[in-house]
Chains A and B, each alone.
Chain A
């Protein structure tokens, strides 16, 4: 009777190394990865979860795990297996997610990913293979390299004063509330390996039972980079690694401290409430499709450029167009120049960037200086003559000049000059009805006391446009 044989969750042949018929892994003689692979594959067999397991492999020597495990596989960017695994576990309801990582991957470049996945209590089993060195790249110092340990980049031994102390990941993860299972095991000898299998099994049973985040650290040898014979390397784990990395269970909870809540998409109705636009707006349906509008509004910070962009986008939504609004954020928001791009289209909108506007609203001089050359030939520019003295130099665009700030000021609210700009955009292009703007303003403006003033600005701007620009 066969008592122990190659687990079924492995492929029969490993096509990566050598040619067809190859049965060997690419791992060096005596490497611990093979041991962990076998344990994981055995447990997958025992639990009957091969068809629903997704194995997220790291960057490092185990980067090729997908050549070995006959399960779902994702090869993740360096250190991001817990992040990729988060996506998988949240979208694959019955999936069993494994994040398999080394010490450079998990405790170095991927420290942020693992900490946040653990802190969220994501449903995944993390198998952290700690061999205290960067193996794949040839034996450089890793986050878990021991003090005094010689590596390629610590040739005189790691110095705590210069390079810090080795990170003890189980202890660090154990400071978080969400994980349900944390254990450190060792691959030093057969009894320890059997104990390691029990920990791996518990971590995967926890996934089958939807218990939550489970973390198993495996102290593993890297004979080649440690420059120690395979048999001696296993002894080195006991003598040198285990005193610093105690082999023990840190946590084994019956249930997670917080029950996992699957995020649900917000309904259209709730979205309308969130954006305070739940009221119905009556618009006259239009037959004709509009040309794609690439609108850029620019001015100084505080002039209301970004809010005016939101108003325009909301009007476009009200008229059943597709729209995007992308503000340019940054230190320029405070007193410098600010700008927002709004795209209005009856087709799909790809990038929300407006690099070359079909309609440009310049609220101040520096904005015109910055963007005049970007306007698409045949496009339009609306210039706020209250603050811009110079004329537009381009001759291949249509230009409208209007004292937007003064119009707004006379209507009772200088700060609404950008609303005057939107009004004139609507009249110049015909894309948005003035009536729509007036219906959307009460919904779009946060301070209700200012609604009246804004509506007066719309009327004043419309009147100015009809008197002075309509024929232009």
Chain B
């Protein structure tokens, strides 16, 4: 599986820091609201390098998980 980012919808507070700091523009703000009322971020595959910038910009401990393609086809 290619490099990708998993976003825990319910933990996102919609601050957009991950979106603005993604070098490959692989994150966008979704149109839906989570149960806290935040418009949570969504991952779109645009050549994600699993650099981790989104993870480090995100203030929430568990909202973002970054997965790197290890060439084995699994996550």
- A: residues with CB less than 8 A from B are 1-7, 10, 23-25, 27-35, 37-39, 41, 68, 189-190, 193-194, 197, 223, 229-231, 234
Offer 23 A-B interface pairs, CB within 8 angstroms, sorted by A: A1-B70, A2-B66, A3-B50, A3-B67, A4-B64, A4-B65, A4-B66, A10-B62, A24-B13, A25-B59, A25-B61, A29-B13, A29-B14, A29-B59, A31-B59, A33-B59, A35-B59, A190-B53, A197-B56, A230-B16, A231-B17, A231-B20, A234-B17
Known A10-B62, A29-B38, A39-B56; 15 more pairs at CB < 8 Å: A1-B67, A3-B50, A6-B61, A6-B62, A23-B62, A29-B13, A29-B14, A30-B15, A34-B58, A34-B60, A35-B58, A37-B61, A38-B61, A230-B17, A231-B16
Contact residues in A for B38 (Cβ distance below 8 Å): 29
Q: In whole angstroms, what is the CA distance A39 to B58 when docked?
A: 11
Give the residue of B11, B17, B60, B66 whose beta carbon is less than 8 angstroms from that of A3: B66
Q: In whole angstroms, what is the CA distance A6 to B38 when docked?
A: 20
Q: In whole angstroms, what is the CA distance A30 to B57 when docked?
A: 9
CB B38 to nearest CB in A, in angstroms, measures 7
Q: In whole angstroms, what is the CA distance A245 to B59 when docked?
A: 22
Q: In whole angstroms, what is the CA distance A412 to B10 when docked?
A: 89
Q: Would you list which residues of chain B between 9 and 61 have a CB under 8 Å from chain A?
A: 10-11, 13-17, 20-21, 36, 38, 50-53, 55-61
Q: A231-B17, A231-B20 are in contact. Are A190 and B56 (CB under 8 A)?
A: yes
Contact B56 A35 (CB under 8 A): yes
Cβ-closest chain A residue relative to B72: A1
Q: In whole angstroms, what is the CA distance A10 to B21 when docked?
A: 25
Contact residues in B for A30 (Cβ distance below 8 Å): 13, 15, 17, 59
- CB-CB nearest 7 A-B residue pairs: A34-B59, A190-B53, A29-B13, A6-B62, A30-B15, A4-B55, A230-B15
Contact A24 B57 (CB under 8 A): no
Contact residues in B for A41 (Cβ distance below 8 Å): 61
CB B4 to nearest CB in A, in angstroms, measures 10
Q: In whole angstroms, what is the CA distance A15 to B29 when docked?
A: 28
Contact A4 B52 (CB under 8 A): yes
Q: A5-B65, A230-B16 are in contact. Are A190 and B21 (CB under 8 A)?
A: yes
